[in-house]
Amino acid sequence: MVEAVRFPDIPLYQGWGAPMRTESTLADLEVIEGAIPPELNGTLYRCGPDRQYPPMTGSDVFIDGEGMAHMLRFEGGHVDYKSRWIRTERFELQEKARRSLFGRYRNRHTNDASVKGASMGTANTNAIWHAGKLLILKEDDLPYEVDPDTLETKGKYDYDGAVTACSMTAHPKLDLITNELLTFSYQARGDASTDIVFYVIGPDGKIVNEVWFNMPWAACVHDFAVTETHVIFPFFPLITDPEVIAKGGPYYQYHPDKETVVAVLPRYGTASEIRWFRGANTTAGHMMNAVTEGSKVHLDLCLYEGNCFDFFPTPAGETTPPVPPRLTRLTFDLESNDDGFEKRLLSPVPCEMPRTDDRYQGRPYRHGYVISFGNRAEGSQLGHVDVETGKLETWNFGPGTGIQEPQFVPRRPDSPEGDGWLLCFVNRPAENRSDLAIVDAQNVAAGPVALIKLPVRVRSTFHGMWVPAGALATGRYDMALVA
């Protein structure tokens, strides 16, 4: 008897979270408020998870699910939208079987026997354009290359064999001034390995620097940060235990008794030049930026005084209560003999998904953009943080709405920092659809300068980027910094 397709009756798959399971093509989206700035010519790429079939286990975590790429192309005042599945090995095996074949998140010991040895990668987290290639990323696999116009999946990409790690991060840092991509792999030799490798990839897609070293434990390293001269790897106590996963347990466990360990190394250096720092137990999912100032390296991130992924339990099986993330600066002194670091709150209002004017990634900056949770009753809001003063200004898109991660777009390639727009998806659950908002990044409190209506629901996108039309044509970014 054929088993009916039926998703479990759990909150994750109800209301806005209900899987879309569909691809869309929409030309000439309706502008329902304001006007599209004429300078916006390019493509916004985003990626997020959606469930192809009900999970094998009957439960799930929201970061799992097959990858769905989204694009909004701005051209001459028109905006077109497209979404497409990323046809990973996992997707195609399940499509053929017409059911889920992969079990608990990242735990290959819980998969159907028919897919033993198959790649579990979902390509569901981020999209980047570098060296003439559009890559869709998930940190437990190598990137998938897709066509930048059709979003057709071309296949897995390992930089013509130059990348020997088994995966690459979903959070590389793209230097829009040098056209370098800085990226890494953790558990780079396979599940629960302590190997980590850092790559600098040049404008031509060739590896410029490669540094292998070992983590203090088999950590989850979701994000990292770079400066013009340094790289910062935080190792939080979210740890993979091979014995636990072999028994079908969670891929990560949160260890509240372990400290935070941080590695700082030169951007073009070697493993022998790493400085190690240690501090109190914390976690984080996302970094905003980092800057080198003399002998000090500053890391700005959304820091949790507890477990950032509360769906991963402790070794005792306890689920830790959620804690609010706050924008925090960690400072590491490279000339100090002390292995500790300073911690300073930049903004007390809880926030997540931090972004900057991407031209200033790794460089002195002032403007940050976040999803703000200042008033939980009002839902998520778009926020602009002045990291020098701590001032926060926000905009709420209305009762019952929410937003997804904002993307900064400069007004011109040589505009001053923060002179441009923020693009973000607005969730409208009451109408079961989405908008794309365009907001003046220097006047967030004034609300959108334009709202673009999507008659479909963009369920979830984690991360993505804006690619100017010129960069899409040439494969290079022509950006500038203003002192």
pLDDT in tens, 415-430: 999 999 999 999 999 9
Percent of the chain topping pLDDT 70: 99
pLDDT tens-digit readout, 315-358: 999 998 888 999 999 999 999 999 999 999 999 999 999 999 99
pLDDT tens-digit readout, 76-115: 999 999 999 999 999 999 999 999 999 999 999 999 999 9
Residue among 202, 199, 198 at smallest CA distance from 178? 202
Q: Count of CB atoms within 10 A of residue 294's CB?
A: 8
pLDDT value of residue 377:
58
User: Do residues 263 and 290 lie in contact, with contact meaning Cβ atoms separated by under 8 Å?
Assistant: no
Q: What is the largest CA-CA distance in the chain?
A: 69
Q: Is the pLDDT of residue 2 over 90?
A: no
Is 11-474 a CATH 2.130.10 domain?
Answer: yes
Residue 289, classified by CB atoms within 10 Å of its CB into exposed (0-12), middle (13-18) or buried (19+), is: buried
pLDDT band at 375 (very low <50, low <70, confident <90, very high): low
pLDDT value of residue 71:
98
Strands 342-347 and 351-356: unpaired
Q: Name the token pair of 273.
A: 């030049």
User: Do residues 295 and 301 lie in contact, with contact meaning Cβ atoms separated by under 8 Å?
Assistant: no
> What three-state secondary structure class fits 317?
coil
pLDDT value of residue 376:
58
Residue among 215, 221, 214 at smallest CA distance from 252? 221
Residue among 480, 361, 410, 476 at smallest CA distance from 130? 476
pLDDT tens-digit readout, 437-447: 999 999 999 99
pLDDT tens-digit readout, 300-312: 999 999 999 989 9
The span from the CA of 61 to the CA of 63, in Å, is: 6
User: Do residues 465 and 45 lie in contact, with contact meaning Cβ atoms separated by under 8 Å?
Assistant: yes
Q: Is the pLDDT of residue 374 over 80?
A: no
pLDDT tens-digit readout, 21-78: 999 999 999 999 999 999 999 999 999 999 999 999 877 899 999 999 999 999 999 9
User: Do residues 45 and 467 lie in contact, with contact meaning Cβ atoms separated by under 8 Å?
Assistant: yes
The domains of the chain are located at 11-474
For residue 452, report the phi and psi dihedrals to the nearest 5 degrees.
-110, 125
Average pLDDT over residues 366-390: 89
The residue with tokens 């991660």 is 405
> What three-state secondary structure class fits 28?
coil
How does the average pLDDT of the chain come out, rounded? 96
